[in-house]
Amino acid sequence: MQKPTVLVTRRWPAAVEQQLAETYNVELNRTDRPLTSAEFRDAILRYDAVLPTVTDKIGPQALDVSKPRTKIFANYGVGYSHIDLESAKSHGIAITNTPDVLSECTADLAMTLMLMVARRASDGERELRSGAWDGWRPTHLIGTKVSGKTLGIVGFGRIGQEMARRAHHGFGMDIVVYNRSPVRPDVLAQYNATQVSTIEELLPQCDFVSLHCPGGEANTKLINSQRLDLMKPDAILINTARGEVVDEAALAQSLQYETIGGAALDVFEREPAINPVLAQCENVVMLPHLGSATREARQAMGFRVLDNLNDFFEGRAPRDRVA
């Protein structure tokens, strides 16, 4: 029987690419750049499976084909708001993702960002590298304490819970949670967490707010100017979820006028483009989408895609099917 043909849209860890090549007729995107809509239309007509990532925008234009050959988008990553679900469903294309395997590493990165912005680590490193540091003094680069403060978590799935674990058990933080559905009492009890019914109730209580909710249309600009105004004047916003969850223009204004204490971002509305006003703000820490960027997580994501592909082409229901 002929092996299914598979397109991998970006370069993946070598061990994963090798195993894919042993199982399928694989074509790699050796340029390692995002595909255009026209290239996606061509791919959907030529390959049995397409393996996209968050950088691939598979909208209605990309799916404007009459007789697609592609039967599955096996997505490399948890989020899949970059794929037009309705268009994919209309073609009968299955979609899978890779949950679980990156939760710990993304929570580690969220904690890193929180500590960096709270303790002004980026400011300090820039000063050192520029040769401007002239020695210790009592009022130099004063930040804010993290231990014992209140952390608000928006979205209490796997990553949000891992963030709560680190914050509560590692730093003694009080945890306040907003989630679109009720969280079981026994889960909240693990972190001595309190669930509130609205974001508006959460924001004024918190010294830090960390976003771990899905992207997509329902959560676009979830954090807007009105909600930023509800935050404490010294509170800090952390986003490792999806860029579209935050209204970056509103955030930049809040940072410029110092109506909040700071922000720490790993994802952006139009990445890799960065809002130029936001980039000029000194009270924001920015990283280039590193949430799952560990060897362990990136390999595990790839092998999870492979598991989903194997299930699909061997006639089993993929465990991570989302559409």
68-105 pLDDT tens trace: 999 999 999 999 999 999 999 999 999 999 999 999 99
82 an active-site residue?
A: no
39 an active-site residue?
A: no
How far lies 154's CA from each of 24, 184, 285, in Å? 40, 16, 19
Provide the residue type at 174 as one letter: D
Q: How sure is the predictor about 31, in pLDDT bands with cuts at 50, 70 and 90? A: very high
Which of 104, 242, 248, 304 is an active site residue? 242
Q: What is the CATH number of the domain that holds 305?
A: 3.40.50.720
Which of 11, 41, 165, 289 is an active site residue? 289
| Spatial contact of 301 and 102, defined as CB atoms under 8 Å apart | yes
**Per-residue pLDDT for 1 more than 80?**
no
| Judgement on whether residues 192 and 56 belong to the same structural domain of the protein | no
Mean of pLDDT over the chain: 97
242 an active-site residue?
A: yes
Which of 27, 127, 201, 271 is an active site residue? 271
139-161 per-residue burial string, b: 16 or more CB within 10 A, e: under 16: eeeebbebeebbbbbbbbbbbbb
| Judgement on whether residues 95 and 110 belong to the same structural domain of the protein | no
Segment 218-226 shows an average pLDDT of 97
| Judgement on whether residues 226 and 89 belong to the same structural domain of the protein | no
| Judgement on whether residues 132 and 209 belong to the same structural domain of the protein | yes
Check residue 287 and give its pLDDT: 98
| Judgement on whether residues 200 and 111 belong to the same structural domain of the protein | yes
Interacting residues of 296 by C-beta distance below 8 A, sequence separation 6+? 105
Q: Which domain holds residue 43?
A: 5-101+295-313
pLDDT digits (tens, 9 = 90+) for 115-148: 999 999 999 999 999 999 999 999 999 999 999 9
How far lies 235's CA from each of 35, 199, 205, 215, 312, in Å? 39, 15, 10, 23, 46
**Percentage of the chain lying above the pLDDT 90 cut:** 98
Sign of the Cα pseudo-torsion (248, 253, 257, 260, in order): negative
| Judgement on whether residues 52 and 81 belong to the same structural domain of the protein | yes
Q: How sure is the predictor about 64, in pLDDT bands with cuts at 50, 70 and 90? A: very high
| Judgement on whether residues 38 and 145 belong to the same structural domain of the protein | no
Segment 43-55 shows an average pLDDT of 96
| Judgement on whether residues 274 and 259 belong to the same structural domain of the protein | yes
Q: Please count the other Cβ atoms lying within 10 Å of the Cβ belonging to residue 123.
A: 17
| Judgement on whether residues 256 and 301 belong to the same structural domain of the protein | no
Segment 303-320 shows an average pLDDT of 97
| Judgement on whether residues 24 and 128 belong to the same structural domain of the protein | no
Check residue 125 and give its pLDDT: 96
Check residue 315 and give its pLDDT: 96
Q: Classify 265 as helix, strand or coil.
A: strand
Query: Which residue in this structure is represented by tokens 């989630």?
Result: 179
* 321 occurs within a structural domain: no
Domain count across the chain: 2
Interacting residues of 148 by C-beta distance below 8 A, sequence separation 6+? 171, 172, 173, 174
Q: Please count the other Cβ atoms lying within 10 Å of the Cβ belonging to residue 170.
A: 11
